[in-house]
C-alpha cells in the first residue's frame, strides 16, 4: 500500500500553482489535503503513483510525500493519532527476567510504545474516530502474551513504573528536596545502595528545580528503581549522562531483570543498549508518519540488523545503505609537529574548581575527541580555545585563528527561520551544490528550512546548531556534545559530516562526546580528562585513539571489542571470558 502524506506545516497552497493537483486529483486544496484518508490512499496506490520518487510533478515545498507501506500491515494497526497522522503498527512483548531494548529513529513510536505498555495510553487499534477501549485491546491480543500483560496492567495486578524521556520537565510537576522525594518513593528498601551506585548522595539536600540535566536523569532513574513493580519502562536513560554514569546506570538497570522483573528500555546509545539488553525490537518506517515494530532479535543480531538496514526474517529494507564502521589501525609514532594550533600549559582557576591542561597542539585534518566525566572541565577547555573564557595561566599559540563554536546548551533566544540562520553563517556558499550535499543533506535540515527556530524540537535544534557551526569559515571547529537529542542514524550522519568537512578543508575539530560508538566513529585522537567532578580537572596532550580509549576504559573498568560482522565497538559483559582476558592483558580497548 502507498499512502499520500501531507506535511501541514510545509503545505503552501496559497503560494504555489497547485502542482499537487496535477500530481494527485484527490489533493485540491490545503484543507482537503490534510483530510486524506483510506479511500484517497487506495486511489493513489492503484491508479496514480508508483512511489518511484523521481516524478517532476511534485510539490516544490516538499509537503507531499508518497510512503511505501507493506500490505501485510493492514491488520496490525495499534494506534493512530488522527486523520493522516502518525500510525503505530504492532507492539513489542516484554519478557520476565530480561531487559528488552527498543531501537529506532526519533519520531518512530518508541515513547508511544512505552506509554501503552505502562497503561498511561490505551491504543485505539487504528480507529481514531472511536474512543479507545481496554476491552477492545484485550480482545485483539486474545491468546497472545500481550493479553496477559496488558490485562494485568489494566486491572492493577501488575504494576508498571515509567521513566519519561524528557527529564528536564520533571521540576514542572515535582517539588521539594531530592532526599525527601526518594525516601517517600523507596518501596523496596534499596535507597542507600541506589544512592551509592548512582553517586547522588550530594544531591539529597538540593531542591529538584535546581538540578542539572545529568543530575535530574540520575534522580529520575533512582525514583524509578526504588518503586516496587513487576515492570520497569525507561525512556532514554543515558541522555545527559557522561560515559562513566551511563555505564553505572546500565548495570543497575541490567540487575533489575535478574530479580524476576520485566524491563523495557528505549535507547540511542548503541554501546549502552548492547551492554544492558538481552533482546531488542527494531522500529522502522518513516519518522512522524508511521512506525513498525519488528520481530524480536537477540541484542547483537538486532543491532547489526539495524546497522545494515535490512531485516532478513521480514524481507524488509528500511535504509538504502548500511552504516559502515571502519577499523582504525594505531597511528605510527611521528614527530610532534603542530601545524595548525598549539597551546602552552593552560590553567583556569575558579576558586572552587581548578582545571589544568598540559601543553599540546593539533595538526591540519585531525578530529580530536574529548572524553571525561561531567563537571571535570571539558567545556571550560573548549571555551578557552573558543575565546569565550580567558585562561588564568597560559594561552594559545595563535589567538587570531578563526574558530567556530557550537556550545553545549543551545540558546533559546535565537530568532529567525532556519534558512535565515544558515544563510547568514554560510554566506555565498549557501547556494552552492557542495554545501547542500555535505551539510544540509547529511544533517537533514532541508525539511524545516522555513520553520522558526523557536518552535523546533530538541533534535531539530541540535542539527541546526551543528549545521550553523560547520557553515562558517573557520580553522578550528569546536562542538560540545553534538549528539544530544539525536538518534543513532543522526549521530553517525553528524559524525560523518564533521569528518568529511575536516578532511576536505584541511582544518581540525574538537568534539566533546559521551557516546563511545560516536566517538570511535569520529575521532583520530583523544584528549582524556580526569580528576574529581566539580573540584579539579586535568588533561594531557592529545594521544592516539587507541591509547586514549585504553586509558579511559581502564579507569571505568570496562572493556570493548569489535563486532566481527559490522566492526562496531561492543561492550563486553562484566566478568565474561573476553572481559577477563582483556583486563588481564591490559587491552581495555579492542585490539586489531
Query: How does DSSP assign 154-206, residue by residue?
Result: HHTSS-EEEE-S-GGGGGGT--SBHHHHHHHH--SS-HHHHHHHHT-GGGTTS
312 within a domain of the structure (yes/no): no
- Whether this prediction's pTM lies above 0.85 is answered by no
CA angle 435, 440, 444 (to 5 degrees): 165
Cβ atoms within 10 Å, residue 196: 10
Q: What are phi and psi of 288, to 5 degrees?
A: 70, 5
Whether 535 and 564 map to the same domain: the answer is no
Whether 502 and 591 map to the same domain: the answer is no
Q: Count the residues in the chain.
A: 592
Residue 131's pLDDT is 85
Q: Which three cell numbers stand for residue 567?
A: 566492526
**Count of the separate structural domains present in the chain:** 3
The number of angstroms, rounded, from the C-alpha of 301 to the middle of its chain's C-alpha atoms is: 20
Residue 72's pLDDT is 41
Share of the chain above pLDDT 90, in %: 41
Nearest residue to 302 via CA among 112, 483, 570:
570
Instruction: Answer for the pair 499, 530: CB distance below 8 angstroms, yes or no.
Output: no
Whether 346 and 398 map to the same domain: the answer is yes
Q: What is the distance between the alpha carbons of residues 314 and 294, in angstroms, rounded to a whole number? A: 8
Instruction: Answer for the pair 480, 513: CB distance below 8 angstroms, yes or no.
Output: no
419 within a domain of the structure (yes/no): yes
Using CB atoms within 10 Å of the CB of residue 486, give its burial: 0 to 12 exposed, 13 to 18 middle, 19+ buried: buried
Whether 409 and 456 map to the same domain: the answer is yes
Whether 537 and 566 map to the same domain: the answer is no
Per residue in 198-249, pLDDT (tens digit) is 989 989 999 988 888 888 899 999 999 999 999 999 999 998 888 888 888 9
CA angle 93, 566, 512 (to 5 degrees): 90
Nearest residue to 343 via CA among 353, 331, 355:
355
Q: What is the distance between the alpha carbons of residues 25 and 71, in angstroms, rounded to a whole number? A: 23
Per residue in 530-542, pLDDT (tens digit) is 998 888 999 998 9
Residue 284's pLDDT is 92
Whether 528 and 581 map to the same domain: the answer is no
Please name the helix (run of DSSP H) or strand (run of DSSP E) that holds residue 5, with its range, or none. strand 2-6
57 within a domain of the structure (yes/no): yes
Whether 538 and 567 map to the same domain: the answer is no
| 404 beta partners | 477
Query: What SS3 class is residue 89?
Result: strand
281 within a domain of the structure (yes/no): no
User: Max Cα separation, the chain?
Assistant: 73
Q: How far is CA 286 from CA 48, 86, 529, in A?
A: 21, 9, 39
Nearest residue to 239 via CA among 250, 230, 223:
250
Whether 498 and 357 map to the same domain: the answer is yes
Whether 417 and 564 map to the same domain: the answer is no
Residues contacting residue 443 through CB under 8 Å, at least 6 positions apart: 463, 466, 467, 490, 493, 494, 497
Q: Which three cell numbers stand for residue 444?
A: 537533514
588 within a domain of the structure (yes/no): yes
Residue 184's pLDDT is 92
Q: Which three cell numbers stand for residue 171?
A: 521540576
Residue 124's pLDDT is 92
The parts of the chain modelled with pLDDT lower than 50 are 1, 21-23, 25-51, 68-72, 329-335, 592
Q: How far is CA 428 from CA 281, 423, 424, 505, in A?
A: 45, 8, 9, 17
Supply the range of the domain harboring residue 575. 557-592
Cβ atoms within 10 Å, residue 137: 22
Whether 534 and 562 map to the same domain: the answer is no
Whether 441 and 527 map to the same domain: the answer is yes
Amino acid at each position: 500500500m502507498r499512502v499520500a502524506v501531507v506535511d501541514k506545516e510545509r503545505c503552501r497552497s496559497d503560494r504555489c500553482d497547485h502542482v499537487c493537483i496535477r500530481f494527485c486529483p484527490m489533493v485540491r486544496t490545503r484543507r482537503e489535503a490534510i483530510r486524506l484518508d483510506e479511500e484517497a490512499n487506495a486511489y493513489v496506490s492503484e491508479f496514480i503513483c508508483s512511489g518511484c520518487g523521481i516524478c517532476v510533478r511534485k510539490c516544490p515545498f516538499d509537503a507531499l510525500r508518497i510512503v511505501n507501506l507493506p500490505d501485510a500491515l493492514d491488520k496490525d494497526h495499534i494506534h493512530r493519532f488522527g486523520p493522516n497522522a502518525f500510525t503505530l503498527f504492532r507492539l513489542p512483548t516484554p519478557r520476565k527476567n530480561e531487559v528488552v531494548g527498543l531501537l529506532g529513529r526519533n519520531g518512530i513510536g518508541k515513547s508511544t510504545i512505552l506509554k501503552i505498555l505502562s497503561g498511561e495510553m490505551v491504543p485505539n487499534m487504528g480507529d481514531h474516530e472511536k474512543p479507545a477501549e481496554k476491552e477492545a485491546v484485550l480482545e485483539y491480543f486474545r491468546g497472545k502474551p500481550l493479553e496477559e500483560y496488558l490485562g494485568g496492567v489494566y486491572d492493577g495486578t501488575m504494576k508498571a513504573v515509567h521513566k519519561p524521556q524528557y527529564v528536564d520537565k520533571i521540576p514542572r510537576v515535582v517539588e521539594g528536596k531530592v532526599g525527601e522525594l526518594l525516601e517517600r518513593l523507596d518501596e523496596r528498601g534499596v535507597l542507600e545502595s541506589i544512592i551509592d551506585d548512582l553517586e547522588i548522595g550530594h544531591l539529597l539536600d538540593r531542591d529538584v528545580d535546581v538540578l542539572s540535566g545529568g543530575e535530574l536523569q540520575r534522580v529520575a532513574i533512582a525514583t524509578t528503581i526504588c518503586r516496587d513493580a513487576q515492570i520497569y519502562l525507561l525512556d532514554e536513560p543515558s541522555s545527559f549522562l557522561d560515559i562513566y554514569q551511563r555505564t553505572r546506570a546500565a548495570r543497575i538497570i541490567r540487575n533489575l531483570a535478574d530479580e524476576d522483573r520485566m524491563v523495557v528500555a528505549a535507547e540511542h546509545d548503541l554501546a549502552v543498549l548492547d551492554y544492558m539488553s538481552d533482546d531488542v525490537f527494531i522500529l522502522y518506517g518513516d519518522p512522524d508518519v508511521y512506525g513498525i515494530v519488528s520481530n524480536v532479535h537477540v541484542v547483537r543480531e538486532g543491532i547489526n540488523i539495524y546497522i545494515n538496514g535490512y531485516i532478513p526474517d521480514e524481507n524488509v529494507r528500511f535504509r538504502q545503505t548500511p552504516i559502515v564502521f571502519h577499523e582504525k589501525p594505531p597511528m605510527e609514532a611521528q614527530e610532534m609537529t603542530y601545524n595548525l594550533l598549539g597551546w602552552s600549559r593552560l590553567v583556569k582557576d575558579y576558586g572552587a574548581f581548578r582545571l589544568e591542561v598540559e601543553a599540546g597542539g593539533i595538526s591540519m585534518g585531525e578530529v580530536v575527541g574529548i572524553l571525561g566525566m561531567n563537571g571535570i572541565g571539558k567545556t571550560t577547555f573548549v571555551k578557552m580555545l573558543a575565546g569565550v573564557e580567558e585562561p588564568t595561566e597560559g594561552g594559545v599559540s595563535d589567538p587570531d585563528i578563526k574558530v567556530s563554536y557550537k556550545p553545549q546548551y543551545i540558546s533559546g533566544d535565537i530568532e529567525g527561520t532556519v534558512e535565515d540562520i544558515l544563510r547568514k553563517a554560510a554566506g555565498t556558499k549557501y547556494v552552492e551544490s557542495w554545501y547542500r550535499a555535505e551539510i544540509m543533506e547529511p544533517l537533514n535540515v532541508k525539511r524545516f528550512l522555513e520553520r522558526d527556530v523557536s518552535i523546533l524540537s530538541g533534535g531539530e535544534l541540535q542539527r541546526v546548531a551543528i549545521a550553523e557551526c560547520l557553515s562558517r569559515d573557520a580553522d578550528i571547529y569546536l562542538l560540545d556534545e553534538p549528539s544530544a537529542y539525536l538518534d543513532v542514524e543522526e549521530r553517525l550522519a553528524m559524525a560523518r559530516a564533521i569528518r568529511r568537512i575536516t578532511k576536505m578543508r584541511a582544518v581540525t575539530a574538537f568534539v566533546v562526546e559521551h557516546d563511545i560508538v560516536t566517538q570511535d566513529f569520529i575521532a583520530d585522537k583523544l584528549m582524556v580528562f580526569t580528576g574529581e567532578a566539580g573540584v579539579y580537572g586535568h588533561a594531557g596532550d592529545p594521544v592516539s585513539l587507541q591509547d586514549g580509549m585504553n586509558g579511559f576504559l581502564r579507569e571505568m573498568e570496562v572493556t570493548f571489542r569489535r563486532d566481527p560482522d559490522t566492526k562496531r565497538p561492543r561492550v563486553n559483559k562484566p566478568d565474561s571470558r573476553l572481559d577477563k582476558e582483556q583486563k588481564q592483558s591490559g587491552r581495555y580497548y579492542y585490539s586489531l
